[in-house]
Every structure is written in structure tokens, then in C-alpha cells.
Amino acid sequence: MGLFDRFKLTADAAPSATSDVAASLAPYPNSDGLYGVRNAYSYTATREECMSIPTLARARNIICSSIAAMPIILRDRTTGVRIDPPRVINTPDPRVPGSATYVWTAEDILLTGFAYWRILELYSDTFRVRRIERIAPTRMGTFLNDNGTEVLYYTIDGNRIPETGVGSVVVFYGNDEGLLNRAGTTIRTGAELERAAAMYAREPMPTMVLKSNGASLPADRISKLLESWGQARRNRSTAFLNADVTLDAVGFDPEKMQLNAARNYIATELSRAIGIPAYFTDAPTGSSMTYSNATLAKQSLLDFSLVPIMTSIEERLSMPDFTPSSQVARFDLDVYLRGSAIERAQVYEVLNRIGALSVEEIQQKEDMIL
């Protein structure tokens, strides 16, 4: 029996489907061409490596928290009239705040290219989703057809789940294969630089070798010698050695290694990879952000970083298992793009003059109605 034969399901071992599998096949974006001949393990990175890099941790928090802070509303597709959404839209999992669910959903799309919600409850009359729980991508398994283009079924923690109904998953598709796959090599380089910086923080000198000029020392004596040497160097930079021990320096110090320059370069590259302007992560850009472009910072972040993930969430929630076909889900940008008091007053003055907003509507928007 060949190695790959062990992963094939026999007729006796195949789990019975709970619905028509052919009718529930989902397309799977094939991005194998990106990997080429590179080893997949060395190409991809882990979330732990990603979040160990301050640049990516800051970028992730800015992007995902900004998305989670915006409420989602429903609008009529024809008239554009605003409709109050059901609870599942803004609080998908009643056990946790809705913002927590959307923070991790946005992160999953950003880092892996997919996000998964498991359906826990359906409405009895419309059979639309009523309650879900977010499933981490690391718990998910995807089984494809022979061509690798269609999903046959999913597993959670190794257990096959239904294709439809309660227990099945809602899949959010990102616009690429995810940061961990797309920029895995750069992320791993950044993580190694962070480890190197931490090592030199503990041992701020080049790697030192203490060499005995006399008889060989037992292991316990060597351990005590190194421990006392390290403790002494943390308290005093000047050292004294007797004739029995000599000190040799091996390697280079951080300045000669240009460790700081390498970290700054990687910070800029990672800002490009995650799709956020470098000044948001304080990465070196060669130019400073002035007041004139600072006022447009939120709009820039929205256009270049938030919209791709927001679109993935909006379009999935606009599908018939969440909302009627006559309605569409949209993030409410009014609070996010809210200007200063003077800017809002100027806009309201124009809108009131042309009859677009009444005084009462302006007061309602400004929470001025008691």
C-alpha cells in the first residue's frame, strides 16, 4: 500500500453525508502557483511568529479593531432605506460581544485568507442563521476533490461536519491566500531579527568564550563559572581574569551586524505586505506625515487596508442564509469617518439648506435630542 493510499476513504470508512454533497460543493481558490518549487513549510509562517513582530502586531490591531468597531446595518437593495438588522448581524455569538467576534473574524481573513463560523441555531420559520461561533482556522480541515478545485467537506478538530444546516460552517473568503502564506518568508525573517535583538539584550556583548588554560574543568564548575561571569557583567562592565582563564570574543556586536537597520527594513517591508501605510506602524518611510495628510489618514486606512476585509464580510452576510435577497449588509462608516465638530456643522448647514436633512434629523445624529 502506497503512502497516499492511506489518506483515501474507502466505501466502508467514508462517513455518511447528511445532505446532497453534490449540491453543497464550494469552490476552492487554487493558489498553488504562488508556491512554485519552494518548500511550503519554509514559506509559510505561524500566527505566533507574526504577532511576535511589533510592526505586524500593531498593524493587525489597527486593521481588525477598526473593522470591529463599526456597526453593520442592512439597506434595501432598491431604495437604499436603512433597516434594523437582526441580532446575529452585530452579535453573531450572544456569549461574547459582537466586536470580539468580528476582531477575530477579520484577523482570520487577514492572516489566512479564510474565516469560519459554525452555525449553532437557525430561525424555525426562515431557516436563516440565528446564532454562530467563530472557529479558528487551525481547527479546520478542508477535503478537496481530485483536482483541488472543489471542497467536498470540512472537518473541525478532525471530525467531519454537516454540509448544511446546524453544525455546518459559514466560510468567509479573503481576496488572497492570507498574510501568513503570502509573506511567510518575510515574517520569519522578522521573527528571527526579534529573537536576535532579544538575545543581544540579554548578552549585550559579542558572543564570549571563556577558555581554561589549565586542566579541564568538570561540568558543574563550568556552569558556576559562566553563571558568576554573567552576574558580574550585569553589575559591572569591567572584568578581571587570572592567568588560568582567557576571554575570546566570537562574532559581531549588534552595531557591526547592522541589526537595527535590518529591523527597520523588515518593518517597512512588513507594512507593505500587510497593506497598511508605513506611518501607521511607525516604520521608517523616509518622509514624515504632515498635518495636511494627517486629516486624510482615516480615509487612506479605509481605502487601502480595511475595504478588502470589510467587503468579504459584507458580501457573505448579504447572502440568503443571513439576510433576505432584497436587502444588503453594509458597515456603517458614519462614526468611523466622523469629522470634527466644525466640519460636521458645515456639512449639516449645507444639507439643511438644500433640504436633505431637517433640524430634528441633525439633532438625532448629534445625540442632541433629550
Q: Is 143 helix (H, G, I), strand (E, B) or coil?
A: strand
Residue 278 corresponds to which amino acid? A
The pLDDT tens digits of the residues spanning 103-162 come to: 999 999 999 999 999 999 999 999 999 999 999 999 999 998 888 888 889 999 999 999
pLDDT < 50 regions, the chain: 1-24, 33-42, 252, 291-292, 294
What pLDDT does residue 158 have?
Answer: 93
Calpha distance 329→313 (Å, rounded)? 9
Q: How far is CA 281 from CA 57, 179, 243, in A?
A: 9, 16, 52
What are the helix (H) ranges across the chain? 32-35, 40-43, 47-51, 54-68, 87-90, 98-112, 179-182, 184-202, 219-235, 254-257, 259-274, 291-294, 297-301, 307-317, 341-353, 359-365
Question: What pLDDT, on a 0 to 100 scale, did the predictor assign at position 25?
Answer: 57
- Model pTM? 0.73
Residue 207 pLDDT: 61
Give the model confidence (pLDDT) of 81-98 as tens digits.
989 899 999 999 999 999
What integer pLDDT is reported at residue 297 of this predicted model?
77
pLDDT score recorded for residue 14: 40
Residue (of 37, 47, 134, 43) closest to 91 by Cα position: 134
Per-residue pLDDT, 91:
95
Pairing relation of β-strands 150-156 and 159-160?
antiparallel
Give the pLDDT confidence score for residue 216 in this predicted structure: 77
Distance CA 363, CA 369 (A): 6
Neighbouring CB atoms inside 10 A of 187's CB total 29
